[in-house]
Amino acid sequence: MTYFDFNSASEQTSFDLIPKGTLVRVRMTIKPGGFDDPSQGWTGGYATRNDNTGSVYLNCEFVVMEGEFARRKMWSLIGLHSPKGPEWANMGRTFVKAILNSARGVHPGDNSPAAQNARRISGFADLDGIEFLGKVDWDKDQNGQDKSVIKAAITPDHKDYAALMGGAAKPAVSGAANGSNAYAQATGRASVPGRPSWAQ
């Protein structure tokens, strides 16, 4: 009889929930749902549409980049449209704005041309792989069990932002000095004028 020896196998890792309120640097990736609506600026197949409810969203995975919870994954939706009204889409826009502020080192109160440019994206591809400082919350999964989620981004006005983001976010340059080039310097991408309708 053949025996398989499991003595050298790794011990189980604990999958306790990440404590509510923990701040973690995460990389967000979007699971493509294949739903496009060019009139809304939804292209590239990133959006997902729920055929039962008619809601449209980004299906996002957040991987913790470092620290005690490194490599742990969380999943959350970013709302783009709900037939019930604008609230879900507005919450989604608020979250994306905070993600951009966090990732690109822009203070929420900064309305300089450079800061405004840093809050623009040319499409959902700009969000796929973005790194920012997130705040862990808890939600219920489909079975009623608690799960860790990311629903808020921590921006540079937070006291722990600089320490936790380290050199990851390159701050946008404020004022006239290099003004409109700050976004390009911070991201390595050329700035794209104009915004799709969902980002207006």
Instruction: Give the separation between CA 143 and CA 149, rounded to whole angstroms.
Output: 15
pLDDT attached to residue 182: 40
**Domain membership flag for residue 56:** yes
pLDDT attached to residue 168: 54
Instruction: Give the separation between CA 31 and CA 111, rounded to whole angstroms.
Output: 32
Answer whether 154's CB lies under 8 Å from 135's CB: yes
**Domain membership flag for residue 112:** yes
- Say what the pTM is: 0.77
Q: 53 is written with which tokens?
A: 């409810």
Could you tell me which residues come within 8 angstroms of residue 133 by beta carbon, excluding any fewer than 6 positions away?
Answer: 23, 24, 25, 26, 102, 153, 154, 158, 161, 164, 165
Q: Give the chain's domain count.
A: 1
**Domain membership flag for residue 101:** yes
Output the tens digit of pLDDT for each of the chain's 200 residues. Answer: 667 878 887 766 556 899 999 999 999 999 999 999 999 999 999 999 999 999 999 999 999 999 999 999 999 999 999 999 999 999 999 999 999 999 999 999 999 999 999 999 999 999 999 999 999 999 998 889 999 999 999 999 999 999 999 755 444 433 333 333 344 444 444 444 444 444 44
**Domain membership flag for residue 187:** no
Answer whether 79's CB lies under 8 Å from 88's CB: yes
**Domain membership flag for residue 68:** yes
Considering only the C-alpha atoms of the chain, give the largest distance between any 2 of them, rounded to a whole number of Å.
78
**Domain membership flag for residue 7:** no
**Domain membership flag for residue 198:** no
- Domain span including residue 105: 23-167
**Domain membership flag for residue 183:** no
pLDDT attached to residue 24: 96
